[in-house]
Amino acid sequence: MGMTMTQKILAAHAGLDSVEPGQLIEADLDMVLGNDITAPVAIREFEKIGITDVFDKAKIALVPDHFTPNKDIKAAEQSRLLRTFAAEKEIEHYFEVGQMGIEHALLPEKGLVVSGDVVIGADSHTCTYGALGAFSTGIGSTDMAAGMATGRAWFKVPSALRFELTGKPGQWVMGKDIILHIIGLVGVDGALYQSMEFSGSGIAYLSMDDRFSMANMAIEAGAKNGIFPVDDQTLAYVKEHSTKPYRVYEADADAHYEQSYTIDLSTIRPTVSFPHLPDNTRSIDEVGNVRIDQVVIGSCTNGRIEDLRMAAGILKGRKTAKHVRLIVFPATQAIYLQAVREGIAEILVEAGAAFSTPTCGPCLGGHMGILAEGERAVATTNRNFVGRMGHPKSEVYLASPAVAAASAVTGRISDPALLEGKE
């Protein structure tokens, strides 16, 4: 029996000719990632191991992005621990405020992850790098500690689901709409500890930013990872951002999938996930009349330049509704600067947005966008659990930047198509 993309990558990194679903393996790591919440725990566990050096100074990345810029004394102490550890161990990839970004946008941008890599990160959305044809997955802080010490991690080889994408998405349909549609189809545990493997002619119509957004949310279907085939668009991105050697893996023709789904992208409408689970999805035509108080555009899911361009295209010449707070978080400093150079930041600020430095703050209810009791937010983030962005009795509606921007204007969850031709 043949192997899937994920299985081939894991076999190669485990030094094996082949692997099978359910098999326990130990694989070499190309990158180990931690942030200001998870890495301090990993650092303390690393110190208990009793060794003095990390396995490779160039294969560890520490990114304080969740409660930074530091929101309080505890957050400052957490970041200082990372900073001190990075300096003592001479870790090459430490990104402090001013150079940092949201980790899952920053690592590909910096060229630290390429096709064929195996990456672990002490953050569940590490699965983002599957957009590049890499195997990447979230792990716990103790596994991160072991990874920093040994350069290896154990895995149970996942079985796979195949999602064959056909057709061309409509004008206002983004990668976020597609992955919300898929999560609504399979459920939040529909891919539990499985690899979500995307294929099909429709992928050609998806930008790299679309793919990053989709791979990012594979975990919201319970998946171990999400992964896209490597095409010319992927390789162009890799070569633009990195000088690391890459390797392209392709699924065998006789690879086994537990289940296959065919998704016609031309039939997908802008999609919104209602509280309080990502699979509680409705098309924009089924939303109804939902008044909102806040809109957040950003995060590791949708804070890239195409996301900001889409939002600016809708908000140009318009104003946010008087009762709506619009907060925009570019995912990295480079994206921030590009948004300034392209005039995107000016458009968004003139529309009434607060344009902020990169941070995960509002996504996890940490800071810079906390919701009060009874408030509703449309967010381009990835989770809408109870209390995710603040008060347990607040509500989060997940959507694309297009829907979010249109909703900021109308003050209600809205189809961006309805604003066409209207000033």
pLDDT for 421 beyond 80: no
276 prior amide bond cis, ω within 30: yes
Task: Give me the residue label for tokens 């690393």.
Answer: 46
Kindly report which listed range (8-17, 67-76, 211-220, 306-315) carries the lowest average pLDDT score: 67-76
Provide the residue ranges of all domains of the chain, joining segments of one domain with +. Answer: 5-263, 273-415
Distance, CA of 90 to CA of 58 (rounded, Å): 9
What are the Cα distances from residue 42, in Å, to 36, 38, 221, 291, 314? 10, 7, 26, 42, 43
pTM: 0.94
Q: Are strands 325-329 and 294-298 parallel, antiparallel or unpaired?
A: parallel
Mean pLDDT for the chain?
Answer: 95
Q: What is the pLDDT of residue 21?
A: 96
**Residue 422: which pLDDT band, with cuts at 50, 70 and 90?**
low
| Strand 31-35 with 60-63, pairing | parallel
What would the mean pLDDT of 309-319 be, rounded to a whole number?
A: 96
Do strands 376-379 and 294-298 pair parallel, antiparallel, or not at all (unpaired)?
parallel
pLDDT at residue 418 tops 90: no
> Both ends of the chain: CA-CA distance in Å?
58
User: Per-residue pLDDT tens for 146-190?
Assistant: 999 999 999 999 999 999 999 999 999 999 999 999 999 999 999
CA 373/CA 357 separation, integer angstroms: 26
CA atoms within 13 A on the CB side of 5: 28
Are both 5-263 and 273-415 of the same fold?
yes
HSE of 160, CA atoms in CB hemisphere, 13 A:
27
273-415 topology per CATH: Aconitase; domain 3 (3.30.499)
What is the C-alpha to C-alpha distance for residues 410 and 395, in angstroms, rounded to an integer?
18
Q: What is the pLDDT of residues 259-282, one digit of tens each?
A: 999 999 999 999 999 999 999 999
Interacting residues of 256 by C-beta distance below 8 A, sequence separation 6+: 1, 2, 4, 21, 159, 160
CATH number for the domain formed by residue range(s) 5-263: 3.30.499.10
CA distance linking residue 343 with residue 312, whole number of Å = 9
